[in-house]
């Protein structure tokens, strides 16, 4: 297993490199003069001072060296200050990351549950009413933009019925309790699940059908094993591998969708930060958001891959471990 981990970690390096390059390019292409902005304008500096400051900032060095220095700073957590309000970017990002992790975490668990249950129902009752309903719903879900569904849910549950809060993490002016926090979670989480579960459901349905049509499943039925065992030891474990693989592969899609949902519901996470930064052209923040998102996705992918490897006996055997 350790060998697999090392091999897989080596594959992460180009991904991290690419994401950091993207972030660096964002930072470098910020309009304006970084030296002049330090003192509020070019006209306040002599030519000599200007050049000295530029040298101190390393701006006259080759781009590769600048990238190296920038990477070093980033790795040490020095991400600079937001050009809008001067707050430390790392602090802002850390708080937002927790909120995003909460949102994506809860929604992710929801998607896993919904797709496993719906996929099981549809797959085991292929071409019956349950299957038609689930499959049709999955098709529609796949075609629905998350932001629009979010707007509809706000319209229905917050505007028309006034049952649930439509924005933010907490309601200003009212006590911050677990209940209100949960209430604020409901609509954004529901939006992500409904707009994203489609392909997951279809995948599980397909794998369940594959398992049910397989020789080993038929052999197990012929052995007289009860439904309980068939489901938990045959259907689920065998359908799980393609499912987890897909979870890893589709993580970028899910994260992208969650960002828009954060925007629609003013959920104070990385996505909201990122989109606000993109619209306000706040490049330091944009860079930081890109870095964090990239790292988030890459780590998620890694976890999915390791899980799949751990679940797969062939890989487990191939990479040692008894």
Partner 1 sequence: MDIVNVNPADVKPASEMRRLLRAFLRHRLAHAGLLGLLLITVAALVGPTLVHHSAQTSNLDAIYSGPSWSHLLGTDQLGRDLLARLLAGAQVSLSVALAATIVASLLGCLYGLVAGMGPVWLDRVLMQFLDAMLAIPVLLLVIVSQAFGESSLLKVIVVIGLASWMGTARLMRTECGRLMQSEFINAAIMGGASRLSLALRHVLPNAAAPLLVVVTVGIGQAVLIESTLSFLNLGVPSTLPSWGNLLGNGMSSMLSGAWWVVLFPGLMIVVTVLCINLVGDGLRDTVDPKRRTHL
Partner 2 sequence: MKKMNPLLNVKQLSVRYATGADEVRAVDEVSFSIRPGEVVGLVGESGSGKSSVAQAILGLLDQHNTTIAGRIEFDGENLFSCDESGWNAVRGRRIGMIFQSPESSFNPVATVGAQMVEALRWHFKLAKVEARQRALAALREVGMPRPEEVMHNYAFELSGGMCQRAALALVMALQPALVLADEPTASLDVLAQAELVQWLALIQKKRGFAMLVISHDLNLVARLADQVLVMHGGRLLEKGATRRVLANPQHPYTEQLLRAVPRLITADMRTHNDHSVKNGVVLP
Q: Which residues contact partner 2 by CB under 8 A? A: 126-128, 214-216, 218-227, 229, 233-234, 237-238, 241, 311-314, 317, 322
- Judged by CB under 8 A, the chain residues 187 through 216 that form the site for partner 1 are 202, 206
Number of residues that bind partner 1 (CB under 8 A): 53
Q: Would you say 102 and 270 are in contact if contact means Cβ atoms under 8 Å apart?
A: no
Backbone phi and psi for residue 81, each to the nearest 5 degrees, phi listed first: -120, 150
Of 3, 84, 4, the closest CA to residue 309 belongs to 4
Q: Which is nearer to partner 2, 179 or 222 (CB)?
A: 222
Residue 110, binding choice from partner 1, partner 2, none, Cβ under 5 to 8 Å by partner class: none
Distances (CA, A) of 125 to 112, 216, 227: 20, 19, 14
Residue 263, binding choice from partner 2, partner 1, none, Cβ under 5 to 8 Å by partner class: partner 1
Provide the minimum distance between the beta carbon of 113 and partner 2 in the complex, in angstroms, as a whole number.
21
The span from the CA of 277 to the CA of 288, in Å, is: 10
Count CB atoms within 10 A of the CB of residue 227. 10
**Strand pairing partners for 88?**
81
**Strand pairing partners for 81?**
88
Q: State the binding string over 283-302 for partner 1 (x if CB under 8 A, else -).
A: ---x---x--xx--xx--x-
Provide the minimum distance between the beta carbon of 198 and partner 2 in the complex, in angstroms, as a whole number.
25
Residue 152 binding partner 1, by CB under 8 A = yes
Q: State the binding string over 107-136 for partner 1 (x if CB under 8 A, else -).
A: --------------------x---xx--xx
Angle between helices 89-124 and 270-280 (to 10 degrees): 120
Q: Which residue stretches of the chain are H helix?
A: 2-28, 34-39, 47-56, 63-75, 89-124, 129-143, 146-153, 178-212, 215-222, 227-229, 236-264, 270-280, 283-311, 313-318
Q: State the binding string over 234-273 for partner 1 (x if CB under 8 A, else -).
A: ---------------x--xx-xxx-xx--xx---------
DSSP 8-state assignment for residue 43:
G
Q: Which residue has the tokens 């990479």?
A: 319
Provide the minimum distance between the beta carbon of 226 and partner 2 in the complex, in angstroms, as a whole number.
6
Coil, helix or strand for 84? coil
Residue 281 binding partner 1, by CB under 8 A = yes
Q: Which is nearer to partner 1, 58 or 145 (CB)?
A: 145
Q: Which residues bind partner 1 (CB under 8 A)?
A: 11, 14-15, 17-19, 22, 26, 29, 127, 131-132, 135-136, 139-140, 142-145, 147-149, 151-152, 154-155, 159, 202, 206, 249, 252-253, 255-257, 259-260, 263-264, 274-275, 277-279, 281, 286, 290, 293-294, 297-298, 301
């Amino acid at each position: 297993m350790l060998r697999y981990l090392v091999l897989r970690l080596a594959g992460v390096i180009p991904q991290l490199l690419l994401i950091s390059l993207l972030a660096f390019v964002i930072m470098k292409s910020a309009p304006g003069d970084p030296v002049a902005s330090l003192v509020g304008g070019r006209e306040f500096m002599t030519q000599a001072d200007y050049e000295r400051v530029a040298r101190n900032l390393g701006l006259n060095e080759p781009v590769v060296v600048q990238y190296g220095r920038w990477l070093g700073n980033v790795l040490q957590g020095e991400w600079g200050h937001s050009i809008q309000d001067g707050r430390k970017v790392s602090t802002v990002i850390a708080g937002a990351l927790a909120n995003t992790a909460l949102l994506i975490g809860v929604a992710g668990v929801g998607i896993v549950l919904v797709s496993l249950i719906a996929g099981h129902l549809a797959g085991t009752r292929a071409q019956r009413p349950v299957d038609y309903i689930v499959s049709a719903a999955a098709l529609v879900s796949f075609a629905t933009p998350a932001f629009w569904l979010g707007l509809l849910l706000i319209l229905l549950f917050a505007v028309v019925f006034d049952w649930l809060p439509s924005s933010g993490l907490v309601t200003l002016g009212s006590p911050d309790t677990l209940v209100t926090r949960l209430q604020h979670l409901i609509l954004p989480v529901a939006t992500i699940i409904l707009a994203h579960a489609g392909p997951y459901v279809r995948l599980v349905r397909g794998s369940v059908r594959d398992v049910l049509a397989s020789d080993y499943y038929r052999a197990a039925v012929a052995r007289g094993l009860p439904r309980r065992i068939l489901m938990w030891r045959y259907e689920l474990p065998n359908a799980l591998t393609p499912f987890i693989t897909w979870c890893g592969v589709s993580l970028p899609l899910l994260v992208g969708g969650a960002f828009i949902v954060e925007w629609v519901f003013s959920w104070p996470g990385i996505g909201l930060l990122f989109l606000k930064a993109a619209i306000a052209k706040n490049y330091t923040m944009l860079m930081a958001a890109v870095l964090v998102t990239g790292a988030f996705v890459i780590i998620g992918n890694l976890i999915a891959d390791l899980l799949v490897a751990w679940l797969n006996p062939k890989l487990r055997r191939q990479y040692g471990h008894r």
